[in-house]
A and B are shown apart, each in its own frame.
Chain A
Amino acid sequence: DQQVKQNSPSLSVQEGRISILNCDYTNSMFDYFLWYKKYPAEGPTFLISISSIKDKNEDGRFTVFLNKSAKHLSLHIVPSQPGDSAVYFCAASVYVDDKIIFGKGTRLHILP
């Protein structure tokens, strides 16, 4: 039973446009949410996080939105750049220093 779900295995977006990656979760105890980015032959790297007391966190081109009532979060990248092409993992934990549960990932292709 997947507690963190990324229902889109892949997504293609034109360079310069907005990329929106979605994630749903089932465990209402999750209190901390993260996005990781992964390039081929490398380990995932931390991108941005949000705690449940917020509904939005922004870092440069990256914004994460959290809708607790819907158990849904999304990552917005604007404007999208070629270097954003990667696999993006949504993740969640019950508290900030707990084990992190990952989704299966969404492969983002930025088209020239």
Chain B
Amino acid sequence: DAGVIQSPRHEVTEMGQEVTLRCKPISGHNSLFWYRQTMMRGLELLIYFNNNVPIDDSGMPEDRFSAKMPNASFSTLKIQPSEPRDSAVYFCASSSPGEQFFGPGTRLTVL
């Protein structure tokens, strides 16, 4: 198994633009998580899905952020419009009971 796949690995965009981050979880995992890592706040949980259904989105910072999981093998995290303070590394993870497997992350820079 290739593990959790994220794309793109790096994204540089200008303030106000729409950004879409993509994730393919490990096959057979029922839960999918989106995290954001910054120096100030560490690793924050943004949202998680179980069986493609959003369970807890309390970590989503504001309405500019949205996430979807149309099927068991794909999820997106969208930021519209993007702002410089959104610059961070965004991780997707999928889980089997007791352990989460993380993707390599997408480094987002908003100028």
Contact = CB atoms under 8 A, between A and B. Distances in A.
B54 to A, nearest CB: 12
Interface stretch (A18-26, A40-48, A58-66, A78-86): A40-48
A104 B42 contact: yes
A1 interface: no
B43 interface: yes
B98 A44 contact: no
Interface string A29-64: 000101010000111111001000000000000000
Contacts, number: 51
A44 B102 contact: yes
Contacts of A13: none
B97 to A, nearest CB: 5
Contacts of B56: 99
A43 B33 contact: no
B111 to A, nearest CB: 21
Given A97-B95, A99-B33, A99-B56, A43 B103 contact: yes
Given A32-B98, A43-B104, A97-B31, A104 B41 contact: yes
B101 interface: yes
Given A34-B99, A36-B102, A96-B98, 12 more contacts: A32-B98, A43-B93, A43-B105, A44-B102, A49-B98, A89-B42, A97-B31, A97-B95, A99-B48, A102-B44, A104-B41, A105-B42
